């Protein structure tokens, strides 16, 4: 129960990696708030993360809108009595050839994947600074934040940007005792990858599921990662043992990218 007494918030916690992080935090003893655009699914995860005296909270929130994130964090603090860990996990992906990318495609990806992290960090850090909470800010980057991949130029740009935000933010918030890190998953079997598999197979004619398997074979792990594989690292980053890790973007990709 290494997070006992802590309040944690997970954006994009209604499914996939975010839901696994929420469940893991709950197992670790934390109070869990799930912030997501998908209110019914967020509610279901929050209910799973509830027990007598430690009730999970679901908050409808769009991370691309600053006011929505600040209002969401305010509710977390009010309903849970504080905030110690913010995981800015919400993200979107789109498969599209570079020459077909529109301005709207770029704006949408950057709004959710980059501004979403910025707003989540700002809202959480504001509370942490005011209350002198030595908190943790953790963001979703990706192997696509370390290397460019075809058909994903805007997604890759957004995930490289997350690493920059994390480094700058870590340097600014260190005096307040706030640690800021990112996690960089590889090929994780979630609804996001199901969608990517569908889009890529439409382009290449591959059978459903084949593209996911093909990409997963790049990893030393030899299989797609599970959301729980990622949640293990986040549990570590949220807890006291990781206090000396700051400003990093840690690869948790089963062995695809080597730095």
Ligand X SMILES: NC(=O)c1ccc[n+]([C@@H]2O[C@H](COP(=O)([O-])OP(=O)(O)OC[C@H]3O[C@@H](n4cnc5c(N)ncnc54)[C@H](O)[C@@H]3O)[C@@H](O)[C@H]2O)c1
- What is the binding site for ligand X (CB under 6 A)? 11-12, 14-18, 36-38, 61-64, 89-93, 112, 116, 140, 142, 185, 187-188, 190-193
> Distance of CA 251 to CAs 13, 65, 143, 186, 208, Å?
20, 28, 7, 8, 27
CA dist., res. 4 & res. 84, Å (int): 11
Nearer of residues 16 and 135 to ligand X, judged by Cβ: 16
Taking a C-beta distance cutoff of 8 angstroms, is the pair 144, 152 a contact? yes
CA dist., res. 39 & res. 45, Å (int): 10
Whether 176 is catalytic? no
Q: Which residues fall within 8 angstroms of residue 244, CB to CB, at 6 or more apart?
A: none
Q: Which residues fall within 8 angstroms of residue 133, CB to CB, at 6 or more apart?
A: 82, 83, 84, 127, 178
Of 155, 176, 183, 215, which is the active-site residue?
A: 155
Beta-sheet strands, E only, within the chain:
7-11, 31-36, 57-60, 85-88, 136-140, 179-185, 249-252
Using DSSP's 3-state secondary structure scheme, residue 236 falls into helix
Nearer of residues 152 and 178 to ligand X, judged by Cβ: 152
Nearer of residues 129 and 157 to ligand X, judged by Cβ: 157
Nearer of residues 18 and 56 to ligand X, judged by Cβ: 18
Taking a C-beta distance cutoff of 8 angstroms, is the pair 230, 13 a contact? no
Nearer of residues 112 and 153 to ligand X, judged by Cβ: 112
Q: CA nearest 180: which of 232, 250, 231, 127?
A: 250
Which of the residues are catalytic?
A: 155
């Amino acid at each position: 129960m290494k997070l006992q007494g802590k309040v944690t918030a997970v954006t994009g916690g209604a499914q996939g990696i975010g839901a696994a992080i929420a469940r893991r935090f709950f197992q670790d003893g934390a109070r869990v708030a799930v912030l997501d655009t998908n209110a019914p699914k967020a509610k279901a995860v929050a209910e799973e993360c509830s027990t007598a005296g430690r009730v999970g909270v679901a908050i409808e929130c769009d991370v691309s809108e600053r006011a929505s994130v600040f209002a969401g964090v305010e509710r977390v603090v009010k309903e849970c009595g504080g905030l110690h860990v913010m995981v800015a996990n919400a993200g979107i992906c789109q498969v599209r050839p570079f020459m077909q990318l529109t301005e709207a495609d770029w704006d949408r990806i950057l709004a959710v994947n980059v501004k979403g992290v910025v707003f989540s960090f700002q809202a959480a850090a504001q509370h942490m600074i005011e209350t002198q909470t030595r908190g943790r800010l953790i963001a979703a980057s990706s192997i696509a934040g370390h290397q460019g991949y075809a058909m994903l130029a805007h997604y890759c740009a957004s995930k490289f940007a997350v690493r920059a935000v994390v480094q700058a933010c870590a340097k600014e918030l260190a005096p307040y005792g706030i640690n800021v890190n990112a996690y960089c998953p590889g090929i994780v079997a979630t609804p996001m990858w199901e969608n990517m598999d569908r889009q890529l197979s439409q382009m290449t004619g591959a059978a459903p599921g084949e593209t996911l398997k093909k990409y997963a074979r790049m990893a030393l792990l030899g299989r797609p990662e599970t959301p729980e594989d990622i949640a293990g690292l986040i549990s570590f980053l949220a807890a006291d043992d990781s206090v000396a890790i700051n400003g990093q973007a840690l690869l948790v990709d089963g062995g695809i990218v080597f730095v």
